[in-house]
Amino acid sequence: MSADVAGGIALVTGGNRGIGKAFVEELQERGASRVYCGARSIADVPADLVSAGAIAVQLDITDPESVAAAAARCADTTILVNNAGYHGRDRLVLAADPEVARLEMEVNYFGTLNMIRAFAPVLSANGGGAIVNVLSVAGAFPTAFMGGYSPAKSAALFLSTIARAELEPQNTSVTALVVGSVDTRMAAHVEGEKETPRTVAAVGLDAMSRGERMMDTDAMAVAARARYSVDPVRWERSAAKAMRAGLLTTGRRPAR
């Protein structure tokens, strides 16, 4: 199964910044006939996106009423990009705030599930279409220094596979994007080389157009998955060492 961007009608969650904004821009450049930009506050949607034709939609993926309202308003959607996410940057067991892990699961897993459940019948009515889930290399294997974000994104990865199996009969494809280090607000504290959000969006839409089930979007994701497959124990010990050294986890801030 595959889907074309040109002439399609897309909704991007968390489309007001970072990778989400890049998806909105890439969809517009590739000829999508309409792009809905979902954000918890319409005021957060950049003016340049709106002036380029994006339609701002109020959307909180953790709120079933907000999701249902978006599904009703965007009933012509053929491409759903589940980009909205949250990384609390806290530990999982030895957490400063035990509620952070719950919120990470609520946004990254249940929020994505809310969107897929609400838009599956929308996509079916419009011929099938495609779903793209923006995930993380931290969800491809246990990553200690990512705390509760790692298991939440892992749950979303499993969700992607199961959703694809369930929705295949209605001709809806589901593509899971395994994202590494990208130059966004979420990764502002991370040292080293980072991919641009626009590159991730381009790779993601290419994968969707080919009907890919899963795609590593950048060099860091490819390298990390390769290292883990060769020696999982060494990777897990390295992740634990980074966590204990305080690397990559120097404070809490909102995700993309």
Q: What is the pLDDT of residues 173-226, one digit of tens each?
A: 999 999 988 755 554 455 556 689 999 999 999 999 999 999 999 988 998 899
Backbone angles phi, psi at 195, to 5 degrees: -80, 155
Q: In the prediction, which pLDDT does 194 show? A: 67
Q: In the prediction, which pLDDT does 251 show? A: 41
Q: Quickly name the fold that domain 9-244 has.
A: Rossmann fold (3.40.50)
Residues present in the chain in total: 256
Quote the CA–CA distance of 254 and 256 in Å, as a whole number: 7
For the stretch 61-75, pLDDT in tens is 999 999 999 999 999
Residues of the chain with pLDDT under 50: 187-188, 249-256
What percentage of residues in the chain have a pLDDT greater than 90?
Answer: 82
pTM over 0.85: yes
Quote the CA–CA distance of 122 and 128 in Å, as a whole number: 8
Kind of pairing between the strands at 214-216 and 9-12: unpaired
Quote the CA–CA distance of 67 and 207 in Å, as a whole number: 26
Q: Whole-angstrom distance between the N-terminal and C-terminal Cα of the chain?
A: 29
Tokens representing 191?
């040292």
Q: In the prediction, which pLDDT does 250 show? A: 33
List the one residue out of 178, 181, 176 whose CA is nearest residue 220. 181
Q: What residue spans define the domains of the chain?
A: 9-244
